[in-house]
Amino acid sequence: MAAPPVQSLVLSFEDARRVVEEQASRAAAHESQTVDLLGAAGRILAQPLVADRDFPPFSRATRDGYAVRSADLETLPARLRVVGEIKAGIQKLISSPLNPGQAFSIMTGAPVPPGADAVVMVEYTSAHGEWVEIAKGVSAGENIVPQGAEASQGSVLLERGTRLNEAGIALAASVGKTKLSVFGRPRVAVLATGDEIVELEAQPGATQIRNSNSYSLAAQILQAGGEPVLLPIAPDEPKRLRKLIEQGLQSDLLIITGGVSMGRYDLVEQALAELHAEFFFTGAKIQPGRPVVFGCCGKTVASRKYFFGLPGNPLSTMVTFELFARPVIEALGGGRPHPLVFPHARARSEIRVKTGLTRFLPAIHSGKLDDSYVEIVPWQGSGDIAAQARANCYVVVPPDREHIPAGEWVALMLR
Ligand code: AMP
Ligand code: MG
């Protein structure tokens, strides 16, 4: 029996994003696997990273100079007796405390001796045999990081669910991890639809176009930590489309592109409805990407599979992936979805749009440290991949604005 027509449910951009974040917070993460330290770069930690010792493990000098008692430098210039040298990696910690009137010559990364409470930079000193003359005072604690100040032994340095960037890898190295437990990558099926779409190997006929969306999506899925699974192109024909959707639902997530607009041959929503899909929304008040669909199939929470139906226009596909599909992939991969952040820059030229939709306009953000600006890329609408490929961000225009004068600060979404 055919399913009844799908009820339209069009949300504001903010509401649609909130729905996605809510669902993402319920998504079950993949199983974990053990990988080499370098293989863990960009992956999501499945174990907390714990400090195996204090960080730093000893009170560390952060400058080359002299370890002193700061009280000895109240009258300047001060003359102190140099009682020894401490270099980084010194075999034994100094045990006898520094007495008043004494200093140790000390190097960056070396342990500060007991009794010393500051390090004077070598630039403010002059050595005279066993004496050093110091021209500048220091306050207690200056140029020293006390033992355990960064982290104490046994404390959690990084939580499970954190994506490992270069600092995370450094941290794992600093606690001696040669192997790490990370979450497996979720498998994300990609289904391109449309009678006019052909595979890359085929020579397109006069009215056909090559399937580019499956590849932009695969690239975005990889960046989001997923593993793309490209399905054959689905024609605009219900039976075959439905078969391929069922095949896609075997993966952890299904992303369909095309076939979600209002045309007579936009059959995706109906095909999903026949598979008893639940729809969280069937549109968002954004441009490009208004007909975006989000929902799930599966009766029980355990068997639940999320899907997205993204509009087929190449730019719409890329924007809606970024706004809505990425957080779900991040969550399925065991991570905490990145919150959307909108840095600002000045518009180089005025911007005019119609009101009613949140706009994501491909743009180039450039400039200097103290003069950052953004310029909309001239484009022919949401099919213009060449314009998109030149851009490095989107300017985000709220739905109530129709004119933004040149020089105004505008919100960006970086890519
Ligand atoms: P649709 O969302 O199916 O109405 O498609 C909207 C536009 O996007 C049409 O011009 C399609 O030809 C184009 N399009 C759809 N799917 C793809 C694809 N996989 N690769 C490139 N362009 C596509
Ligand atoms: Mg189509």
Per residue in 74-133, pLDDT tens? Answer: 999 999 999 999 999 998 998 989 999 999 999 999 999 999 999 999 999 999 999 999
Counting every residue, how long is the chain?
Answer: 415
pLDDT at 303: 84
Q: Report the percentage of the chain scoring pLDDT > 90.
A: 91
Nearest to 58 by CA among 112, 108, 130: 112
Nearest to 136 by CA among 86, 178, 76, 96: 76
144, exposed or middle or buried, with CB in 10 Å at 0-12, 13-18, 19+?
buried
Nearest ligand to the CA atom of 217: 1
Q: Whose CA is nearest to atom 23 of ligand 1?
A: 312
Structure-block tokens of residue 228: 């793309």
Position 241: which residue type? L
Mutation choice for ligand 1 from 195, 208, 209, CB with most ligand atoms inside 8 A: 209
CA–centroid distance, 316 to ligand 1, in Å, is 9
Angle made by CA atoms 201, 203, 204, in degrees to the nearest 5: 115
Residue 1 has pLDDT above 70, yes or no: no
CB 174 within 8 A of CB 76: no
Q: Which residue has the higher pLDDT, 91 or 364?
A: 364
Mean pLDDT, all residues of the chain = 96
- Report how far apart the first and last C-alpha atoms of the chain are (Å, whole number): 44
Four-point Cα dihedral 268, 226, 333, 193, nearest 10: 0
Nearest ligand to the CA atom of 260: 1
pLDDT at 178: 98
Superfamily for 10-30+185-332? Answer: MoaB/Mog-like domain (3.40.980.10)
pLDDT at 300: 82
CATH of domain 34-54+150-183: 3.90.105.10
Where are the domains positioned within the chain?
10-30+185-332, 34-54+150-183, 60-145, 344-414
Number of other residues whose CB lies within 10 A of the CB of residue 302: 7
| CA separation for the pair 198, 183 (Å, rounded) | 35
- The stretch 278-288 carries a mean pLDDT of 97
| CA separation for the pair 55, 51 (Å, rounded) | 8
Residue 392: pLDDT band (50, 70, 90) is very high
Nearest to 280 by CA among 21, 28, 29, 30: 21
CB 130 within 8 A of CB 85: no
Question: Who's near 39: CB < 8 A, 6+ residues apart?
Answer: none
Residue-wise pLDDT for 135-189, tens only, equals 999 999 999 999 999 999 999 999 999 999 999 999 999 999 999 999 999 999 9
Angle made by CA atoms 387, 388, 390, in degrees to the nearest 5: 70
Angle made by CA atoms 338, 341, 347, in degrees to the nearest 5: 150
User: Which architecture does CATH list for 60-145?
Assistant: Beta Complex (2.170)
CATH of domain 344-414: 2.40.340.10
Nearest to 41 by CA among 176, 180, 217, 157: 180
Q: Does this model's pTM top 0.75? A: yes
CA–centroid distance, 254 to ligand 1, in Å, is 17
CB 38 within 8 A of CB 189: no
Structure-block tokens of residue 320: 């809606």
Mutation choice for ligand 1 from 268, 313, 320, 385, CB with most ligand atoms inside 8 A: 313
Nearest to 224 by CA among 134, 136, 113, 338: 338
| CA separation for the pair 88, 63 (Å, rounded) | 11
CA–centroid distance, 305 to ligand 2, in Å, is 23
Segment among 222-226, 379-383, 404-408 with least mean pLDDT? 379-383
Closest atom, ligand 1, to C-alpha of 313? 8
Nearest ligand to the CA atom of 315: 1
Q: List the shell of residues around ion ligand 2, using CB closer than 5 Å.
A: 194, 258-259, 312
pLDDT at 415: 84
Place of tokens 């905490």: 336
pLDDT at 299: 82
CA–centroid distance, 186 to ligand 2, in Å, is 27
Q: Ligand 1 in contact with 295 (CB < 6 A)?
A: no
| CA separation for the pair 225, 366 (Å, rounded) | 28
Q: Whose CA is nearest to atom 8 of ligand 1?
A: 313
Residue 357: pLDDT band (50, 70, 90) is very high
pLDDT at 370: 86
Q: Whose CA is nearest to atom 5 of ligand 1?
A: 312
Q: Report the percentage of the chain scoring pLDDT > 70.
A: 100
pLDDT at 219: 98
- The stretch 52-78 carries a mean pLDDT of 97
Q: Ligand 1 in contact with 213 (CB < 6 A)?
A: yes
Q: Which residues of 327-355 are buried (b: 16+ CB within 10 A; e: fewer)?
A: bbbbbbbbbebeeeeeeebebbeebebee
Q: DSSP letter at 204? A: P
Helix H or strand E segment including 172: helix 166-174
Structure-block tokens of residue 101: 């009137």
| CA separation for the pair 314, 213 (Å, rounded) | 6
Residue 337 has pLDDT above 90, yes or no: no
| CA separation for the pair 118, 409 (Å, rounded) | 45
Mutation choice for ligand 1 from 197, 230, 315, CB with most ligand atoms inside 8 A: 197
SS3 percent helix, strand, coil of the chain, rounded to 5, is 20, 30, 45
pLDDT at 5: 85
